Amino acid sequence: MLALAVLTVRRNWLARWLTGTLAVGLIIWILVQLPAMPQTMFLQWIFLAVGVALGFIALFWLRRTGQLRLW
């Protein structure tokens, strides 16, 4: 974990891609969890909203810095 923090400070691009990866992972985790569990909690909806917000932040952050290239 400490090595990742050092790399994040040294290379700012890692933070952008890591934010996007964690956001997608969180969204997939919650979307799989919702139909799999018989009861839902309000925290699942909060985590889903946080994942979507992080995804948009990462998307716009990568586009603004020119690191998101589709071709």
- The pLDDT tens digits for 33-68 are 888 887 878 888 888 898 888 888 888 877 777 776
In terms of Cβ atoms closer than 10 Å to its own Cβ (0-12, 13-18, 19+), residue 37 is: exposed
DSSP 22-38: HHHHHHHHHHHHHHHSS
Q: What pLDDT was estimated at residue 11?
A: 61
Q: What is the pLDDT of residues 4-28, one digit of tens each?
A: 666 655 566 667 777 788 888 888 9
